[in-house]
Amino acid sequence: MHADVTSRTIEEAEVALQQTLGPDYRLMTLVSPNIARRARPGQFVHLRLPGLDPAYLLRRPFSLHRAVGDRITILYKQVGVGTAAMARLRSGDRVSVMGPLGNGFPPLPDGFHPLLIGGGYGSAPLFFLAERTSQKGVVFLGGKGRTDLLGDSDFKALGWDVHMATEDGSAGCKGLVTAMLEKWLAEHSSLPTVWYACGPDGMLRAVALLAVEHGVQAWLSLDRRMGCGAGVCLACVVKIQDPEKAGSWKWARVCRDGPVFESRQILWEGEFA
Amino acid sequence: MSVPRLETAIGRIRMKNPVMTASGTFGYGTEYADLVDFRQLGAMVVKGISLEPWAGNPPPRLAEVRGGLLNAIGLQNPGVEGFTRDYLPALRELGIPVIVNIWGRTLEEYEAVATRLEAAEGIAGLELNVSCPNIKEGGIAFGTDPAMLERVVRAVRKQTSRTLIVKLAPNVTRIDPLARIAEEAGADALSLINTYPAMAIDIETRRPVLSNVTGGLSGPAIHPIAVKLVYEAVRAVQIPVIGIGGIVEARDAIEFLIAGARAVAVGTVNFTDPTAALAVVAGIRDYLVRHNLSDVSELVGSVRGP
Ligand SMILES: Cc1cc2nc3c(=O)[nH]c(=O)nc-3n(C[C@H](O)[C@H](O)[C@H](O)COP(=O)(O)OP(=O)(O)OC[C@H]3O[C@@H](n4cnc5c(N)ncnc54)[C@H](O)[C@@H]3O)c2cc1C
Ligand SMILES: Cc1cc2nc3c(=O)[nH]c(=O)nc-3n(C[C@H](O)[C@H](O)[C@H](O)COP(=O)(O)O)c2cc1C
Ligand code: FES
C-alpha cells in the first residue's frame, strides 16, 4: 500500500529454460520482454499453464525471482496439478503471463542495512531484491532440510553474508530461521536494519513479532490463494489495521494492495478485532 | 457482406453489443482499465452493493474445482455511500452502460439502496440480486420464495425509474413461475443464473475447503444448467432475459442467444483472461458473418425443435 500499481500486461511468453534446483524445486525462465522491463522486486506474475487439465481454470501466482534483459525467471516447487503441468513445460512452449502484479518491496532507506529472511521458495523474490539493491546485507535462509535452502551460493556470489538454518539440522544451524535471526540480532544490536521477508505464514508471523520487539521496519511478502490476481474477485484478502481508524481493521487484497505489507499492518489469525 | 449489427437493448439500456461482464467478476471498472478496452463491452455490472459496508466472509473464500470455481466471498462491498463516492466517478468515465447489482438483508435495505442510487448520476440500471447463496440472512430466500420475490421486486420498482433487472437463483424446482412473478412485479428484464450452491471437502484435512462451508459454483460446470433455465425463462415472460453462467468462449454465449437470451454476461472466465468478453464479442460477429445473418436479433430465440 506504499506504491501505485504499475501498468500490467498479458503476454504469451516462450519458455527458454527449465532447470532443476535439487530434488524439489525448479527454475523456469521465460522470454517475456514487456514484463521483464517493468518488473520490480516483490512483484509477481499470474501464469496460465498450457499443460494444465482445462477443467482447471485459474492462473497460478508466482513471485518474480529474476528479471534480466527480456527474460524473467520463476523459482517454484511442485505441489499440485498446476505446478506439475509447469514442470512438464519445455523450451519453446508458450505460457500466458499476466504481470507484473502487486506492489513490490519498497526501496532500502539510506543509512540502513538490509536483512533478508526467506523460508523455502520464499527466497525467490528476495534474490531479485538482492540483485537490485546496491547495499549488501545479510540473508537468512530457512527450511525443513538442506534441499529447502535455495540460492545460498547465488546470494554469496552477489557479496551478501548468508546464514542458514534447517529444522532437521542437515545444513546450517539446527532450528528455525527466526531463532538464528534472533541470535544474530543480539550480536549486532547497534546496526540500523530494515527487513524483507517471504515464506510460510508461521515464519512471517515470528518475523513480525521480532520486528516489533526490535523496533525495526519489516516488509513481508504474503502468499494467499488467488482467483483473478487483479483485485476484482476479493478471494485473497488479509486483515490489516485500518490506517484511517485506529483500533479497527479492514480487508486488503494481497494481489493488489500487497503482496508486500509492513509487519505492523497485518492482523494475523486470532488477532481479529 | 456488410458488418452484422450487434446492438441490443435491455429495458431502456442500449448496448452496442450483447456482451456484458457479470457482477463480482470485473470489479468497479478501474481494476482492469490498463488491460481491457471497456468501450468494446456492451455493458458492465458491478459487484453487489448493500446499504452499509459489508465485510463478507473470512478466507478461504475461493476454491478451484473441476469445471469451475466455488466462491463464498460473502458480498464484501463498500456500501452504497462508499460506492457512489469512491467508485462511481470512475465508472461514469468508462463510456458504457453501468449496471449496479444490489442486495439487502431485508426488504427495507433493498429499498434504501435503490433510493440512494436513484439520486446518483451515471447508472443505467439496477440488477437485483435475490439469489446470492453466500449470506446467512435474506439472500437466496428472496429468490426462491415466490411471495418474497414479489414483495422485493415491487418495493424496489417503486424506488427506481431505471431499468430493473432481477437476477434469479438457479436452485428452484421450476423457474417459470418465479420468472413470471418478477415480470408482473415490474422487472424490465431477468438475468440468470447466479452461482449454484455447492461444496468441496479437502480429503487430507477432512474439512470444508471454504470457511463458509458452502459456496456458489460458477464456470463451465454450470453452463448447461444455465442454458436450460434461460430457455425456460424466455418461454415464460415477454421481458428480455440475460444469459449468465459458464461462458468461456463465443459459442457458449451464442448458445444463450439461440435459447432466447437478448444479452449475456461473462463471469468467471475473466479471471483466466480479462479480455475474454471482447473475444466473445468478436466470436459472435464472426458467427453471424459465417451464417449470413445481418443482425444479432435474428439469432435471439432461434432455437429449433428437437
Ligand atoms: C504472491 C504469490 C507468490 C508466490 N510465489 C511462489 C514462488 O515464487 N514459488 C512457488 O513455488 N510458489 C509460489 N507461490 C505459491 C504458488 O502459487 C502455488 O504453489 C501454486 O499456485 C500451486 O498450484 P498447483 O496447481 O500446483 O497446486 P494445487 O494445490 O493443485 O492448486 C489448487 C489451487 O490452489 C491454489 N494454491 C495452492 N497452493 C497455493 C499457495 N501456496 N499459494 C497460493 N495459491 C495456492 C492454486 O493456485 C490453485 O488455484 C506464490 C503464491 C502467491 C500468492
Ligand atoms: C467471485 C465471484 C463474485 C461474485 N459476486 C457476485 C455479486 O456480488 N452479485 C451477484 O449477483 N453475483 C455475483 N457473482 C455471480 C456472477 O455474477 C455470475 O452470476 C456467476 O458467476 C455465473 O457466471 P459465470 O459462470 O460466468 O461465472 C459472483 C461470482 C463470482 C465467481
Ligand atoms: S485474487 Fe482476486 S482480488 Fe486478489
**Residue-by-residue DSSP string for A148-208:** G--SHHHHHHTT-EEEEEETTSSSSEES-HHHHHHHHHHHTTTS-EEEEEES-HHHHHHHH
Residue pointed to by grid coordinates 481491457? B36
Residue A243 has pLDDT above 90, yes or no: no
Of A142, A196, A137, nearest to A164 by C-alpha is A142
| Banded model confidence at residue A204, pLDDT cuts 50, 70, 90 | very high
CB atoms within 10 A of CB A88: 12
Nearest-by-Cβ selection for B35 from A10, A251, A256: A10
Chain B interface mutation, best of A7, A45, A96, A232, highest count of B Cβ atoms under 10 Å: A232
CB atoms within 10 A of CB B14: 13
Cβ pair A173, A141 in contact under 8 A: no
A223 touches ligand 1 (CB under 6 Å): yes
ipTM: 0.94
CA-CA distance, B100 to B127, in Å (whole number)? Answer: 6
A60 C-alpha vs ligand 1 centroid, how far in Å? 6
Within 8 A of A56 by CB-CB distance, chain B residues are: 64, 66
Q: In this predicted model, what pLDDT tens digit does every residue of A51-101 receive, in sequence order?
A: 999 999 999 999 999 999 999 999 999 999 999 999 999 999 999 999 999
CA-CA distance, A235 to A218, in Å (whole number)? Answer: 25
| In chain A, residues 201-220 whose CB comes closer than 8 Å to chain B | none
Quick one: which ligand is closest to A253's CA? 3
CA-CA distance, B80 to B50, in Å (whole number)? Answer: 6
Of B236, B215, B71, nearest to B166 by C-alpha is B236
Residue B184 CA to its chain's centroid (Å): 20
Average pLDDT over residues A122-130: 97
Average pLDDT over residues B200-207: 96
Is B262 part of the annotated catalytic residue set? no
Q: What is the pTM of this model?
A: 0.95
Q: Which of A50-54, A217-221, B6-10, B23-27 has the lowest mean pLDDT?
A: A50-54
Axis crossing angle, helix B146-159 with helix B176-184, rounded to the nearest 10: 30
Asked whether the beta carbons of residue A231 and residue B27 sit closer than 8 angstroms, the reply is yes
CB atoms within 10 A of CB A168: 12
User: How many Å lie between the alpha carbon of A79 and the closest alpha carbon of chain B?
Assistant: 14
DSSP for residue B86: I
**B92: amino acid identity, one letter:** R
Chain A interface mutation, best of B61, B203, B270, highest count of A Cβ atoms under 10 Å: B61
Cα dihedral sign, B153-B97-B29-B215: positive
Of A83, A144, A91, A105, nearest to A3 by C-alpha is A105
Confirm or reject contact between A233 and chain B (CB < 8 A).
Answer: yes
CB atoms within 10 A of CB B32: 22
